[in-house]
C-alpha cells in the first residue's frame, strides 16, 4: 500500500520566547499581549504606588497637626481658667519640639 503523508502547513514552530514570562510566544513581536500590558503598566504602577504613599503620609501629617491644634485649644482653655496668657500654635509647637527627647 502506498500512502503519502500530508505536508505540514506550518513547517517550523516558532521558537521565540516571551521576554516577560519566558514561555513560547507565537505573537507578532515575540511577546504575549497580556505580558506586553504588564510590561507597559509597570512604570505607571510604581508611579501610582508612590503617589498613594505620598498622599497617605500627607494625610497622616494633617491628622497630627489637627491633633496638636486641638491639644493647643484645650491647653489655652486651661490657661484661660487659671488666668495666664494664651499661646499661639507656632510658639506652642516650637516648645513641644524642644522638650521632645532624642
Ligand atoms: Zn509572556
Q: What are the tens digits of pLDDT across the range 23-52?
A: 999 888 889 999 999 999 999 999 999 999
Per the rule left: phi > 0, alpha: psi between -120 and 50, beta: everything else, 83 is left
pTM for the full predicted model:
0.47
Exposed/middle/buried for 50, CB within 10 Å: 0-12, 13-18, 19+? exposed
Rounded to the nearest angstrom, the distance between the alpha carbon of 44 and the centre of ligand 1 is 19
Ranked by mean pLDDT, the top range of 9-13, 57-61, 76-80 is 57-61
Tell me what the mean pLDDT of segment 9-34 comes to: 85
How high is the pLDDT of residue 65? Answer: 95
Rounded to the nearest angstrom, the distance between the alpha carbon of 64 and the centre of ligand 1 is 46
Question: Phi and psi at residue 23, in whole multiples of 5°?
Answer: -85, 160
Rounded to the nearest angstrom, the distance between the alpha carbon of 38 and the centre of ligand 1 is 9
Rounded to the nearest angstrom, the distance between the alpha carbon of 46 and the centre of ligand 1 is 20
Rounded to the nearest angstrom, the distance between the alpha carbon of 16 and the centre of ligand 1 is 11
How high is the pLDDT of residue 81? Answer: 85
pLDDT band for 99, please (50, 70, 90 cuts): low
Amino acid at each position: 500500500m502506498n500512502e503519502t503523508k500530508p505536508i505540514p502547513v506550518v513547517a517550523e514552530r516558532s521558537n521565540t520566547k516571551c521576554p516577560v514570562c519566558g514561555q513560547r510566544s507565537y505573537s507578532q513581536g515575540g511577546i504575549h499581549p497580556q505580558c506586553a500590558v504588564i510590561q507597559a503598566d509597570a512604570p505607571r504602577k510604581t508611579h501610582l504606588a508612590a503617589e498613594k504613599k505620598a498622599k497617605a503620609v500627607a494625610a497622616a501629617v494633617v491628622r497630627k497637626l489637627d491633633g496638636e491644634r486641638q491639644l493647643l485649644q484645650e491647653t489655652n482653655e486651661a490657661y484661660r481658667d487659671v488666668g495666664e496668657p494664651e499661646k499661639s500654635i507656632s510658639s506652642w509647637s516650637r516648645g513641644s519640639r524642644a522638650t521632645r527627647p532624642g
